[in-house]
């Protein structure tokens, strides 16, 4: 198993694969969210171990972004030998020196930089990264991304976001894919938008399926990414749940209607293996899914960007 020196998994696994909308791509039911492996407190060697682990587990979808630190760079060093095995997605629209965010130059510059950094000739999926509704409606960012698709730099143009902007992106008929939050305390997109993505046969990436694992905090994690989810968990009075949180959350998101792949963000091969083992058990019983639906509907929270 690619020289692993630990026993987090004892066999190669084959994760279920699904069509990614009408794009012709096939993606694993679980994907790797590669934000963690781009952090400065992670070494390049640790990043490789996670990427190798994902491949060993049967995961073929890796999601990164312009804003995820060293993530694109580290994936690029690893990707060459595995390019035919991996569906790679990234996100663009900002942080190009000398260019206004969401301008044509920023979007095209982001795509070109990602091609160089990821060491590939084509990007499978590129998302506009959570730009607001006004930016989408102006059209410049969309036109630039579509131009990259038409030129062969990008296979699938997508939008990553929530709420009204996501609904507009889906209704526009412009994109082949979307990325949005889907988890037990963030169901806005699941109920309001994903039915329309199914009608249009869009590829759907569910982010934050484990809700930032907020149940691990005994007290409110002030200032920590996921604080909002912790507050929602308390408000919904779900903190007393006695089952396996990780397994339940993974199965809820991965088998939510319309979802193509659910991306688990982690720097731990063991945690990734645990998530794979969870989804191998299949969808949650319908009565359990309904329990989570009912708990959410009382509050009707918007999608957390």
**What domains appear along the chain, each with residue ranges and CATH number?**
17-297 (3.20.20.100)
List the chain pLDDT tens, one digit each, 305 residues: 454 444 444 445 568 999 999 999 999 999 999 999 999 999 999 999 999 999 999 999 999 999 999 999 999 999 999 999 999 999 999 999 999 999 999 999 999 999 999 999 999 999 999 999 999 999 999 999 999 999 999 999 999 999 999 999 999 999 999 999 999 999 999 999 999 999 999 999 999 999 999 999 999 999 988 999 999 999 988 767 888 999 999 999 999 999 999 999 999 999 999 999 999 999 999 999 999 999 999 999 999 98
Report how far residue 227's alpha carbon sits from residue 225's, in angstroms, rounded to the nearest whole number: 6
Please state the pTM of the whole predicted model.
0.95
Measured in whole angstroms, how far is the alpha carbon of residue 105 from the centre of its chain? 25
**Cα dihedral 111, 114, 118, 124 sign:** negative
What is each CA distance from 184 to 9, 22, 64, 98, 276, in whole angstroms? Answer: 27, 27, 23, 41, 18
């Amino acid at each position: 198993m690619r020289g692993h020196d630990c026993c987090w998994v004892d066999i190669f696994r084959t994760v279920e694969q699904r069509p990614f909308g009408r794009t012709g791509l096939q993606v694993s039911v679980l994907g790797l969210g590669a934000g963690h492996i781009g952090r400065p407190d992670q070494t390049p060697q640790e990043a490789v171990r996670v990427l190798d682990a994902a491949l060993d587990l049967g995961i073929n979808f890796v999601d990164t972004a312009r804003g995820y630190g060293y993530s694109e760079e580290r994936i690029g060093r690893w990707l060459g030998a595995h390019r035919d095995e991996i569906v790679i997605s990234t996100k663009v629209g900002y942080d190009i020196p000398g260019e206004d965010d969401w301008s044509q130059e920023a979007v095209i510059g982001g795509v070109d930089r990602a091609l160089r950094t990821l060491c590939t000739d084509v990007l499978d999926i590129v998302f506009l990264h959570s730009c607001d509704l006004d930016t989408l409606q102006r059209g410049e960012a969309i036109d630039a991304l579509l131009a990259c698709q038409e030129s062969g730099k990008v296979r699938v143009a997508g939008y990553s976001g929530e709420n009204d902007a996501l609904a507009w992106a889906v209704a526009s008929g412009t994109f082949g894919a979307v990325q949005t939050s889907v988890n037990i305390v963030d169901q806005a997109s699941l109920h309001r938008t994903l039915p329309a993505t199914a009608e249009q046969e869009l590829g759907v990436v569910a982010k934050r399926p484990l809700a930032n694992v907020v149940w691990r905090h005994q007290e409110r994690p002030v200032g920590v990414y996921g604080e909002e989810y912790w507050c929602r968990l308390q408000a919904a009075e779900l903190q007393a749940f006695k089952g396996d949180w990780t397994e339940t959350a993974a199965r809820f998101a991965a088998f939510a209607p319309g979802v193509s792949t659910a991306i688990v963000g982690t720097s731990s091969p063991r945690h990734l293996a645990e998530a794979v083992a969870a989804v191998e058990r299949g969808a949650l019983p319908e009565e359990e899914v309904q329990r989570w639906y009912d708990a959410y509907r009382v509050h009707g929270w918007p999608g957390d960007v």
